[in-house]
């Protein structure tokens, strides 16, 4: 099971334009061209150009997760948060890596902290979405909780005014897990047509829709 879309950082134009350019290039390679090796090369070059530019560390952590190097991704997130503890995106990415390592308790603790500090709207929605995902897919029975997953997924969608396909997809998965395949299919169609959805994501949503129309669940979910 693949966790939701990584958060794409909108980098500001800072003091080192070469690092900024390389981060933009790395994000394009990772999100649009599926060039993981190229993205890692660009991110490493950005870090070498400006070791204090945290978006470069963030993008590299994204790439490392794609390469299943979760401990290394956590180290990059740690470095970001040591530099600036307010970067909620790095905290959520660290939670993602911990989830993939099977450390669901650590991931949930991190995400709940992100929810309670009331970050900017987009990050707040992502925190609710990730908490929904953890309640939906964690194997730990003390964390897995379908009603909570459903409630958090709805909150995430509302925070983004139902514009983000990734968040709507999580809601659809939660609905399917509770046996409400009709609502799951309805929301999966909304995810496909959402304004914030990449073409590769739409293909994934279409696969989910096909399963839900057959009253089938994704691997890792259960009623």
| Torsion angles phi and psi, residue 196, rounded to 5 | -105, 85
Task: Assess whether pLDDT exceeds 80 at residue 4.
Answer: no
Question: Considering all CA atoms of the chain, what is the largest pairwise distance in Å, rounded to the nearest integer?
Answer: 54
Grade residue 1 by pLDDT with cuts at 50, 70 and 90.
very low
On average, the pLDDT of the chain sits at 92
Closest Cα to residue 59, out of 77, 71, 78? Answer: 77
pLDDT, residue 218, reads 86
Residue 177, Cα to own-chain centre: how many angstroms? 20
Measured between alpha carbons, how far is 106 from 130 in angstroms, rounded to an integer?
13
pLDDT per residue as tens digits for the range 146-183:
999 999 999 999 999 999 999 999 999 999 999 999 99
pLDDT, residue 198, reads 86
Q: Does the global pTM surpass 0.85? A: yes
Number of helices (H), then strands (E), in the chain: 11, 0
Task: Assess whether pLDDT exceeds 80 at residue 3.
Answer: no
Q: How many CA atoms lie within 13 A of 168 on its CB side?
A: 26
């Amino acid at each position: 099971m693949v966790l939701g879309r990584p958060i794409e950082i909108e980098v500001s134009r800072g003091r080192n334009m070469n690092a900024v350019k390389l981060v933009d290039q790395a994000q394009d390679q990772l999100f649009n061209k599926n060039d993981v090796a190229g993205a890692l090369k660009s991110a490493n070059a950005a870090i070498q150009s400006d070791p204090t530019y945290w978006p470069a560390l963030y993008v590299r952590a994204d790439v490392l997760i794609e390469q299943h190097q979760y401990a290394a991704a956590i180290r990059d997130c740690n470095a970001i948060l040591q530099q600036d503890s307010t970067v909620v995106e790095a905290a959520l990415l660290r939670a993602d890596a911990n989830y993939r390592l099977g450390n669901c308790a650590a991931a949930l603790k991190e995400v709940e902290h992100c929810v309670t500090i009331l970050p900017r709207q987009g990050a707040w929605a992502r925190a609710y979405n990730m908490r929904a995902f953890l309640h939906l897919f964690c194997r730990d029975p003390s964390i897995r909780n379908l009603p909570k997953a459903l409630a958090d997924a709805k909150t995430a969608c509302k925070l983004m005014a139902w514009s983000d396909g990734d968040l709507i997809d999580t809601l659809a998965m939660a609905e399917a897990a509770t046996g409400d395949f009709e609502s799951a299919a309805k929301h999966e169609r909304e995810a496909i047509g959402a304004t914030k959805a990449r073409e590769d994501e739409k293909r994934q949503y279409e696969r989910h829709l096909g399963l839900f129309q057959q009253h089938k669940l994704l691997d890792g979910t259960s009623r």
